[in-house]
Structure 1
Amino acid sequence: MNMMTNHAALAASATRVPEFGRKDGNGGGDDKTLEQLQKELGETLGSVKQFADEFRTKTAAGDKISEDAKEKADKALSELGGLRGEITELSQKLAQQKRGGGDEEPQLKSLGHEIVHNDEFKTYMEGGAKGTIGFSVKAVTSASGSAGNLIVPERQSEIIGIPRMQLRVRDLLTPGRTNSNSVEFAKQTARTNNAAPVAETALKPESDYTWALVNAPVRTIAHWTLISRQAMDDIPQMESTLDGELRFGLDDAEDAQLLLGDGTGQNVNGLYTQATTYSAPIAIAGATRIDQLRLALLQVELADYAPDGMVLHSAAWAGIELTKDAAGGYIFANPQAIAGPVLWGRPVVSTKRIGSGNFLVGAFKLAAQIFDRMDTEVRISDQDRDNFVKNMLTVRAEKRLALAVRRPGALVRGALL
């Protein structure tokens, strides 16, 4: 009997738990339905319209509107505002009750409500509430068939790429642009300077200068890659990452061309290729690499140019930075400093493209100029071969430029000691 009473009490208490969107049961009754509110709204709108027509007619006829009519109109307008508020509130509640759409609008129900409406509980109560009944809640785990499909790995937005070499060879040169497929310029090939003091009425000395017309063709540097449309759409950073990778690839190839291009085929005629061969202007006993680079700067200076930089292999520059004195102190480097690479007062461009045993020094901005015909362009298309039917995209990047080395004598190249 006690068990029967306890379960009955449980059922009674459970039914008293308010459901979401219902009144609290303290004399308020159920909420009006949306259909009821819409019906009342229509009736009230009709009353307001009727009052408006009546007022318009009496105003046109010059008749006075009674105070009673005014009060009824005010009441109708007040009811109209209240009904609109109720409809808005009910619409918000219905929207909150929806879970994933569908024809039905589920409600959030209490645990007690779920128990008393459970078929097993109803059968247990109809049988006299004899014995014990239990309810189990299915465990939510990461196993298949449970919540496994709901557990999504956290994805970090950053895409980790391969480290990139710092490219700065272009920065040493004078920038320019062209609208043609080649750039012609006059390059001085000989200079005989006979300038000297001259007596009055005497014959002035003649100097000799020779130029040659040189053509620097515009070259195209390009590459492409394939990627699926799904990867492009599903990974937020993929498009920008791919764009960056393709641009880096062009810059990397450009760096090699500007330095070592041999001018054959579609290659640029590069700086190192056209530079003057190093020849020590003076002899230095026990010369080191550091001495050699200073002598190369001197060679540029003796050719009447002001050197403004040098290019070394990364390993060669690291070897110079690690040079120590007899006490073990660094001569050129300060491990705690953040200063950029500088040697003999000139900036050092450290790049693998020049080759481990080579160096290049000179007055770069005076010696050469880049003419960009087309800035780096990255284009995406599904109209390449069978891309459309395979849902693939071809991403292509290219740039066009010409390199004019006007003064090869302002550049000195050589092999490091």
Structure 2
Amino acid sequence: MSARRALGYRKGRAANGEDPRKRYPIYPIAGGAPTLTEQRDEVAKLLADPDYDGDIDELLARADDIASKIDQANQRDARLRALKAAQMPAGDPAPDTRREQPGMQPDDRGVEHPVTVAEAFVRSKALENYRGGGYTGKFAFEHRAAPAGTVTTGTQPQQNTRVPGIIPQNPDFPLLVANLLDRQTSDGTTLEYMRDTSGPQSTWNKAAVVAEGGDKPMSGPFSFDLITTTLKTVAHWVPITRQAADDNGQLMGYINGRLTYGLEYKLDREILTGNGTTQVQGILTTPGIGSYQPALGNTDPKLITVRKAKTQGELALYPPTAVVMNPMDWQDIELDEDANGQFRVIANVTDPGAPTRLWGLTVVTTVAMTQGTALLGGFRTGATLWERQGVTILMTDSHADYFTSNTLVILAERRANVAVHTPAAFVRVTFAAAEA
């Protein structure tokens, strides 16, 4: 018999004079399998043939098998139609629309949220349209919450298998100085605010218990300066090939690692040391902030120096909440040992989740702070970060000869400034003892 599986047998007269009772196999159409309908019709035809002399038991078994398969198909179709017709009752949660790109999953409550500028950028309709137009012209994308070389597809090898979940493109962002401040949105480009120059509350607070009929004391004197400044633009750009821009993974890594974090780092430095004229107003350059430095001959370790500076802030009636210092200074504090060789600050060095705190203060370490100096204060009480424009990402092919080399430009920028309205809430800490 042929290697093809016969559907059944038929009888007929052969042209060459063979026995007309000879059975001939029935095959499906070459190149395709018979459908259930075709199988049903063929078996039904054989069952209705009174002259069929094949294996009746096999024919009946095939009929039962085909009938069972048809019944299953009908049940599946009925279930499918019922499912499509089903309505969600009012108040039920929306279906889970889990994102499948790296770093694009909903949060623990199922609420979709692009957690980074890069995620929001690659998901934006603007980028989709820009890609569809062949990367021609320029488009901008805004997110609220000198080139080191052109990236190519070899910079980050393309992954053929996409693993579910967040795939980090860069190390986790550390806690930033900007995260310590109160953050507000500005409606214009000019920023005006009143800076309290009255000094510590202990010098002007004259509140007292007054006897019946007695005169009430007047607190003061108060003094304020009207500060007028403008929102400053922090920006930089990098080149990227079209091939790399087509890959969401590379594009997210590029925006997160080279553009967004670059803006955050520069803003942190400006918040600390900006000159307030051509740059963002820095807290350390604001007149009226407090200062603490060990006295001449004082050999207090840095751990003790921070504690005494905290007391100074508390005496000014502005309780400190955080301290910002250089990583080298924080290293000296964490490695400080007692007479028994035990670390004073951290008990278990194997615990990576131990909070970075000192004397109840949140510790932010950054190379934007000069070694040997720290800034301690009530950050939300003393200053506000005003933002006119969140992180904005622009992409274009219109730059020099980049169009002919299939290279794009990604530009990231933001506009912001700091209003240091209560300088007395901050204390500059100098770790080295005063010199004679």
Query: What is the TM-score when the length of structure 2 is the normalising length?
Result: 0.57
Residue 301 of structure 2 corresponds to 288
Residue 193 of structure 2 corresponds to 185
Provide the identity percentage: 29
Any idea what the Cα deviations from partners look like across 1:37-78, whole Å, max 9, x if unmatched? 9xxx9xxxxxxxxxxxxxxxxxxxxxxxxxxxxxxxxxxxxx
Q: Structure 2 counterpart of 1:238, which letter?
A: Q
What is the distance in 1 between the residues matched to 2:383 and 2:192?
Answer: 13
What is the distance in 1 between the residues matched to 2:260 and 2:158?
Answer: 31
TM-superposed CA distance for 1:161, in Å, is 6.0
What is the distance in 1 between the residues matched to 2:260 and 2:173?
Answer: 13
What is the distance in 2 between the residues matched to 1:172 and 1:220?
Answer: 21
What is the distance in 1 between the residues matched to 2:335 and 2:217?
Answer: 53
Residue 400 (structure 1) aligned with residue 415 (structure 2) = yes
Any idea what the Cα deviations from partners look like across 1:352-398, whole Å, max 9, x if unmatched? 11022110101111000111111111121223344433322111111
What is the distance in 2 between the residues matched to 1:30 and 1:201?
Answer: 117
Residue 393 of structure 2 corresponds to 378
What is the distance in 2 between the residues matched to 1:301 and 1:220?
Answer: 35
Residue 270 (structure 1) aligned with residue 285 (structure 2) = no
Q: Secondary structure at the match of 2:404?
A: helix
1:354 to 1:285, Cα distance in 2 relative to 1, 3 A: closer
TM-superposed CA distance for 1:155, in Å, is 5.5
What is the distance in 2 between the residues matched to 1:248 and 1:241?
Answer: 11
1:196 to 1:167, Cα distance in 2 relative to 1, 3 A: closer
TM-superposed CA distance for 1:194, in Å, is 4.1
Rg bigger for which structure?
1
Contact 1:167/1:255 (CA < 8 Å) preserved in 2? no
Contact 2:391/2:412 (CA < 8 Å) preserved in 1? yes
Query: What is the TM-score when the length of structure 1 is the normalising length?
Result: 0.60
Residue 59 of structure 2 corresponds to none
TM-superposed CA distance for 1:286, in Å, is 3.9
Any idea what the Cα deviations from partners look like across 1:124-160, whole Å, max 9, x if unmatched? xxxxxxxxxxxxxxxxxxxxxxxxxxxx997576998
Any idea what the Cα deviations from partners look like across 1:83-120, whole Å, max 9, x if unmatched? xxxxxxxxxxxxxxxxxxxxxxxxxxxxxxxxxxxxxx
TM-superposed CA distance for 1:405, in Å, is 0.4
1:277 to 1:202, Cα distance in 2 relative to 1, 3 A: closer
Residue 300 (structure 1) aligned with residue 297 (structure 2) = no
1:212 to 1:398, Cα distance in 2 relative to 1, 3 A: same
Residue 28 (structure 1) aligned with residue 40 (structure 2) = no
TM-superposed CA distance for 1:340, in Å, is 0.6
Contact 2:356/2:363 (CA < 8 Å) preserved in 1? yes
TM-superposed CA distance for 1:414, in Å, is 2.8
TM-superposed CA distance for 1:332, in Å, is 1.2
Residue 224 (structure 1) aligned with residue 237 (structure 2) = yes
For the aligned residue pairs, the C-alpha RMSD in angstroms reads 3.5
1:285 to 1:272, Cα distance in 2 relative to 1, 3 A: closer
What is the distance in 2 between the residues matched to 1:202 and 1:169?
Answer: 48
Q: How do 1:14-413 residues align onto structure 2 when only pairs under 5 Å count? A: 18=3, 27-28=24-25, 31-32=28-29, 163=171, 166-190=174-198, 192-196=204-208, 204-206=216-218, 207-233=220-246, 235-245=247-257, 246-265=259-278, 267-274=279-286, 276-279=289-292, 286-334=299-347, 335-337=349-351, 338-413=353-428
What is the distance in 1 between the residues matched to 2:242 and 2:372?
Answer: 45
TM-superposed CA distance for 1:401, in Å, is 1.0
What is the distance in 2 between the residues matched to 1:203 and 1:410?
Answer: 31
TM-superposed CA distance for 1:293, in Å, is 0.8
What is the distance in 2 between the residues matched to 1:228 and 1:271?
Answer: 40
Q: Which runs of 5+ in 2 are unaligned?
A: 10-22, 39-156
What is the distance in 1 between the residues matched to 2:321 and 2:195?
Answer: 21
Q: Structure 2 counterpart of 1:373, which letter?
A: R
Q: Secondary structure at the match of 1:28?
A: strand
Q: Which runs of 5+ in 1 are unaligned?
A: 1-15, 42-151
